[in-house]
Amino acid sequence: MMKERIEELLAQIDGLKCKNAKEVEEARVKLLGKKGEITGLFEEFRTFSPDLKKEFGRKINELKQAALAKIDQLREQTAVEAASEGPREDLSMPGTPFSLGSRHPVSIVRQEIVDIFRKFGYDVAEGPEIEDDYHVFEALNFPLNHPARDMQDTFFVSVGHPNPLLLRTHTSSVQVRAMETMKLPIRVICPGRVFRNEAISARAHCIFHQVEGLYIDENVTFADLKQAILLFAREMFGPDTAIRMRPSYFPFTEPSSEVDVSCNICKGKGCNICKGTGWLEIMGCGMVDPNVLEASGIDSKKYSGFAFGMGLERIAMLKWQVNDLRHYFENDLRFLSEFNTAIEV
């Protein structure tokens, strides 16, 4: 009888579980309290004959020790759980601030321009920054003696080769690649980094970024070019923006033109940003020269097209009135953090 009770209680103690301190105390009273089961066994034990005492003495003591150890263990465990259950943090406290990065002004402007032309149905194309002479100059109708082909203006990677490698001086090279590979009609814009061998100053840098565009189809006219640029200018600089086209020259377009937009700072009245003229120059453009179409295998009797190109640093300068081009490349956080447009995630 005694033997079974001891074994039963040992198993009970072994499997004992308590959720909190109150339950631990209840278990302790039930086993070891004045009227507890183990206390009861001890009382019974006292009445045993010496033989039986000998037989059960050790077992009953082991039972008591097991009960005490288990209660201790449960006490500790429920105390730890209680401590970790309570309110750990005050969630109404202000958080630790950390600074999010911001997008580079040139990236912001590039994205805006790309978004506008995407709406007009243009694709985006990219090409290599290290190009060959053919795609940067020859296919674009640059005569062999054109000054841009001089080491003074262009960074050459290899010289003395009939088609030397060089750092592209404009992303028109990507337009040549588009004409070579895309099916007509072509509507494409080419954003990218370009390189020119210029002395670095507030107004010039040897690295800058462009977005150039190309549209080729049947019956494309100068009126289409003008309308496309006007729509772009109004999306980019506001609905009241006017444009002005001045005759110009590029080897790859004929006729060619520079485009000015009305100064959105003084609204055309004249200020120090537009140098009192009321106009700001933003891009070059023109009708693609038939020689350029033919060089890429496009029938210039059937197809015509227009092209345009603009510098992103220049547009960002106008947009935020930045007065020194060098800021864009110095990665000074004081400058960069001024363009705190929210980053879309």
- Choosing from 167, 285, 312, 325, the residue that interacts with ligand PHE (CB under 6 A) is 285
Taking the complex as a whole, the smallest distance from the CB of residue 306 to ligand PHE amounts, in Å, to 8
- Contact region with ligand PHE (CB under 6 A), list: 17-25, 107-115, 215-223, 281-289: 281-289
Query: From CA 239, how far away is CA 262, in angstroms rounded?
Result: 11
CB of 318 to ligand PHE, least distance (A): 17
Rounded to 5 degrees, what are φ and ψ at 211?
Answer: -125, 120
Among 137, 308, 314, 316, binds ligand PHE (CB under 6 A): 308
**If we measure between CA atoms, which residue out of 267, 303, 273 comes closest to residue 288?**
303
260 binds ligand PHE (CB under 6 A): no
| Beta bridge partner(s), residue 285 | 257, 308
Closest C-alpha among 98, 109, 101, 97 to residue 333: 101
Stretch that binds ligand PHE, among 3-11, 199-207, 223-231, 279-287 (CB under 6 A): 279-287
Give the nearest distance from C-beta 174 to ligand PHE in angstroms. Answer: 11
Determine the number of helices (DSSP H) and then strands (DSSP E) in the chain. 12, 9
Is residue 250 within the footprint of ligand PHE (CB under 6 A)?
yes
Nearest CA to 135 out of 100, 101, 105, 175 is that of 175
In whole angstroms, how close is the CB of 169 to ligand PHE at the nearest point?
7
Q: Scan for tokens 């190009």, then name that residue.
A: 131
Q: Do the Cβ atoms of 105 and 142 come closer than 8 Å?
A: no
Smaller CB distance to ligand PHE: residue 24 or 245?
245
For tokens 């070579």, the residue is 180
H or E segment and range at residue 304: strand 304-311
Binding mask 164-203 toward ligand PHE (x if CB under 6 A, else -) reads: ------x-x-------------------------------
Distance CA 106, CA 167 (A): 20
Instruction: Write down the least CB distance from residue 222 to ligand PHE, Å.
Output: 13
Taking the complex as a whole, how short is the minimal distance between the CB of residue 121 and ligand PHE, in angstroms? 19
Determine if 28 is a binding residue for ligand PHE (CB under 6 A): no
105 forms part of the interface with ligand PHE (CB under 6 A): no
Dihedral over Cα of 100, 101, 106, 110: its sign: negative
Residue 250 CB, shortest distance to ligand PHE, in Å, is 5
The two most distant CA atoms of the chain are separated, in Å, by 126
The site for ligand PHE (CB under 6 A) is made up of: 170, 172, 212, 250, 253, 256, 284-286, 307-309
